[in-house]
């Protein structure tokens, strides 16, 4: 049975991501900074989370030089509770499913994550912002928007995750400055 304390910890920003990372590498000790980077969680959030998780008995820490190393606790009951946390982030999973289904359209060139999901700073239930880069020589912007929006609605009913597509012509991605420059360094989740 999951304790109320554990649910309160999980509800806070970044905690699930840290636990998923620790579960993915059960035999590894992370410094708090490494854990934050690997989990894509802000460093201060990781420090606070490690203190809470240690106090609740889910992780163990040890000092190594100036660094604090973190690993999953050895407590079988605590590890059993951690198994209840899904391995995949529902928003990222929905984004990848969306991109792969939209990829069936010959005009799609790529999909990029941006916003809080792209930064890895999202909370459960947040919208997923996806840049849909389309070949405007093959399809009009209206048709691309209609297809992207329709698929987002279908996935919302399947996954209960709201996808917010932003359609951008491929020719605009080469421009200097503006939105294209912002999107070029974002995570590509699908590319033709």
For 62-71, 102-111, 112-121, 162-171, which range has the lowest pLDDT when averaged over its residues? 112-121
Q: Which two tokens stand for residue 14?
A: 């970044």
Domains of the chain: 4-82 (1.10.10.10), 90-191 (3.30.460.10)
d(CA 125, CA 162): 8
What value does the mean pLDDT of the chain take?
86
Count of beta carbons in the 10 Å neighbourhood of residue 23: 14
The CA distance from 124 to 122, in Å, is 7
Distance CA 187, CA 49 (A): 25
| Average confidence (pLDDT) over 146-164 | 92
**pLDDT value at residue 119:** 73
Write phi, then psi, for 108 (nearest 5 degrees): -75, 130
pLDDT on residue 105: 95
- CA–CA distances in Å: residue 70 to residues 76, 91, 129, 188: 17, 26, 32, 30
Among candidate residues 34, 189, 35, 30, the one with its CA nearest the CA of residue 113: 189
Q: Is the pLDDT of residue 88 over 70?
A: no
The CA distance from 103 to 164, in Å, is: 16
Strands (E), the chain: 30-31, 59-64, 67-72, 108-114, 128-134, 163-169, 188-191
Per-residue CA distances from 142 to 19, 107, 131 (Å) = 42, 13, 15
DSSP letters for 89-100 = -HHHHHHHHHHH
For residue 139, what are the β-bridge partners? none
């Amino acid at each position: 049975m999951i304790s109320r304390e554990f649910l309160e910890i999980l509800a806070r920003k970044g905690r699930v991501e840290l636990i998923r990372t620790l579960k993915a590498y059960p035999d590894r000790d992370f410094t708090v900074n490494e854990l934050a980077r690997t989990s894509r969680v802000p460093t201060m959030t990781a420090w606070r989370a490690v203190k809470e998780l240690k106090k609740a008995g889910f992780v163990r820490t040890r000092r190594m030089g100036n660094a604090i190393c973190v690993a999953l606790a050895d407590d079988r009951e605590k590890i059993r509770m951690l198994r209840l946390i899904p391995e995949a982030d529902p928003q990222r999973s929905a984004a990848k499913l969306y991109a792969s289904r939209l990829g069936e359209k010959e005009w799609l060139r790529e999909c990029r994550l941006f916003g809080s999901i792209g930064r890895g700073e999202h909370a459960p239930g947040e919208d997923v912002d996806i840049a849909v880069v389309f070949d405007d020589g093959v399809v009009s912007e209206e048709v691309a928007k209609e297809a992207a929006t329709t698929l987002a609605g279908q996935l919302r009913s399947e996954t209960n995750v709201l996808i917010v597509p932003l359609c951008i012509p491929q020719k605009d991605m080469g421009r200097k400055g503006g939105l294209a420059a912002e999107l070029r360094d974002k995570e590509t989740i699908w590319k033709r």
